[in-house]
A and B are shown apart, each in its own frame.
Chain A
Amino acid sequence: MEPGRRDEPHTPAPTLYPIGFAAGIACVLVGLIVSPRLIAPIGGAIAIVFGFLWVRDATRDYRGVPAPVDPETRREAGVGDAPAVPAHHGEAAMPEPEPGERFPRSTFLEASTLGVGVIIGGLVTVPVAVMALGPAFGKQGKHYVDLGPLDNFPEGEWRLATFFLDPGLGEVTRRTAYIRNNGTLDSEPSFTIISNRCAHLGCPVQPNGPVFDDQSKDVNTGGGERIKLIKMLPAGGFGCPCHGGQYDPEGNRTAGPPVRALDRYEYAIKNGHLILLKTFSVSHVDGTGKDATIHKYRLAGPGQHIDGWEQIFYPLQPPQ
């Protein structure tokens, strides 16, 4: 406000409600870390109250009686010093429509132009959109990988297996799984097959323990699938190099940012060969080895919650 400068108050008047709203939001964010049960709801309440007051304040002029607006005035043509608009310029050339007169032909042309435009636009847009967005709804996590004879997996030992999900596409589809032969359960072979995709953001987890590169074995199961099995001893479980997520040997999260346990592979035994089937997600595992109880969920992406209240954010997954 500077006197003599004909300054006027700002419209709308300065208000403190946005600051209160921002403080509430800040309180929610801090509360989510410090105390989600107490501080965060308080912050939410503050934000809601101030947000309401802010919106009410900001829309005050629109809710009440509208501010009077001076009617627009215009001099009559030919009166005063303004020259008359020539008949062939501007709107004067258009005859005034008779009261109640309609223009069915121009309305029809308008509608038909619009309609034809929509049809052409749709004909072009729909296939383009389907092609671009189609992969978003494609199947995920379905594989069939032959890992070779069961003899390569001695009971009670871990093997690091690398294989191609799609040998035709080559190196880019190379994946790693950590496999342990648990012996037999009800006279059926039991395996623990853990995916190396971190449950945080998908980096490759590494065994916390020795990997005996000199005790590796190449297995050729035909079809050009080169499978490598390396003996390893993940005594300390698994760890992720990217952001430090830690897991125990069963894949349970023990520390760091992951939201659940490591994913696992379903498997089958066919002609004495170990076959990897589709992947599934695991919230946690009780017990170890063949006696473990695996809390199994359908495959979810890294970082997506599958249990707890946060699972409400991921109700839908691409088909499997």
Chain B
Amino acid sequence: MAVAPRSRKSVRRQRLEAAVNYPLDWLEERSGLVGGIRYFLFRKVPGDVNWMQTLGSATLTAFIVQAITGVILAMYYKPEPQTAYQSIQHITNDVTLGWLVRGMHKWGASLFIILMFFHMARVFLFGAYKYPRELNWIVGVMLLATGMLEGFTGYLLPWDQTAYWATVVGINLNGTAPFLGPFLAQFLRGGAEIGPDTLSRFYSMHMLLIPGGLIGLIGLHLYLVVRLGVTSPPWSKDAAGMEPTTNGAGPATNGRTGLTRPAARGTLRRNGGDGL
């Protein structure tokens, strides 16, 4: 727990390290959070990972930017037909650095969607959607859908002509869905006609309902990434599907156990956690 005394270190340094470590140790002893974060951040990955594999983290970063700038914008935005457009003008023209935060949110939205598609292309081209990661692909598709729903609902909020008519068209597109379409369109509009309820409804969905789902799905996505490990690039020398070497103490912990396939159906090995 405490720092092991070493003759090399000066007394001052030892005190400093003890001071830094004390709260961390306190936290770790009571919650295990430090070890958890260490486990999350310092995972074993294949030696030949590629820069393309940072696209997922880039997408996550774009989402965090959207979340933070969105919270700040919500402090100034007023979701009423009479005030929405004016409040956006106020944010852009009057509030200090409002133009920048709004710009980050507006352009970051496109960036988020584009990065999702790049990340998806990387996963597809690397074959990283294959066993045992199919479920994570499905979760990723759900993230793509919810991310685009964020785009759809957020587009109305500036409440200008583009926003209004794009939303009219978007809602009516949903209305052409078979059987339930007419009801879906009325649900999105909050009634028969687009109006004040539509704006507040989209605002609520944009900043409460869908982000909640998005955050939950991101958590599940990351959990599966940690559990299943990172894939090697397709050109990797260590071919996927190779049996890991064993030394009698269970599967080898080469950090890539998630890549191995079961020997035969019915004798599924537990994948993921090293040495489990």
Contact = CB atoms under 8 A, between A and B. Distances in A.
Contacts of B183: 136-137, 316, 318
A242 B181 contact: no
Most buried by B among A11, A61, A66: A11
Contacts of B168: 201-203
A135 B242 contact: no
Interface string B244-276: 000000000000000001111111000000000
A5 B242 contact: yes
A304 interface: yes
Interface residues of A, number: 46
A171 interface: yes
Contacts of A242: 165, 169
B88 to A, nearest CB: 16
Nearest to B168: A202
B197 to A, nearest CB: 7
Interface residues of B, number: 39
Contacts of B239: 2, 5, 7
A172 B175 contact: no
A79 interface: no
A171 B81 contact: yes
Nearest to B177: A313
Label chain A's interface by main secondary structure: loop
B172 A303 contact: yes
A7 B186 contact: no
A170 B159 CA distance: 14
A35 interface: no
A301 B182 contact: yes
B193 interface: yes
B179 interface: yes
Contacts of A142: 192
A171 B83 CA distance: 12
Contacts of A173: 193, 195
A140 B175 contact: no
Contacts of A7: 239, 241-242
B179 A316 contact: yes
A5 B179 CA distance: 54
Contacts of A317: 182
Nearest to A139: B192
A67 B184 contact: no
Contact of A170 (B81, B172, B178, B266): B81
Label chain B's interface by main secondary structure: loop
Contacts of B22: none
Interface string B233-245: 0000001011100
Interface string A158-185: 0000000110011111000000000000
B103 interface: no
A25 B194 CA distance: 37
B176 A135 contact: no
B260 to A, nearest CB: 11
B169 A203 contact: yes
B62 interface: no
Most buried by A among B178, B183, B189: B183
A145 B105 CA distance: 41
A135 B190 contact: yes
B31 interface: no
A170 B83 CA distance: 13
A33 B84 CA distance: 43
Contact of B181 (A61, A70, A139, A314): A314
B101 interface: no
A138 B183 CA distance: 9
B187 interface: yes
B182 A316 contact: yes
A304 B182 CA distance: 8
A303 B191 CA distance: 18
Given A67-B266, A318-B182, A138 B173 contact: no
Interface string A54-67: 00000001000011
Given A135-B191, A314-B182, A318-B186, A69 B266 contact: yes
Given A202-B168, A301-B175, A314-B178, A67 B191 contact: no
6 contacts: A2-B239, A169-B196, A301-B185, A314-B179, A318-B182, A318-B183
Given A69-B266, A136-B183, A302-B175, 14 more contacts: A11-B261, A67-B266, A70-B267, A133-B187, A135-B197, A138-B192, A170-B81, A172-B81, A172-B194, A172-B195, A201-B172, A302-B176, A303-B175, A318-B186
In the A-B complex, list the 10 residue pairs whose CB atoms are closest, starting with the nearest.
A140-B192, A313-B178, A136-B187, A303-B176, A301-B175, A202-B172, A136-B183, A201-B172, A302-B172, A69-B266
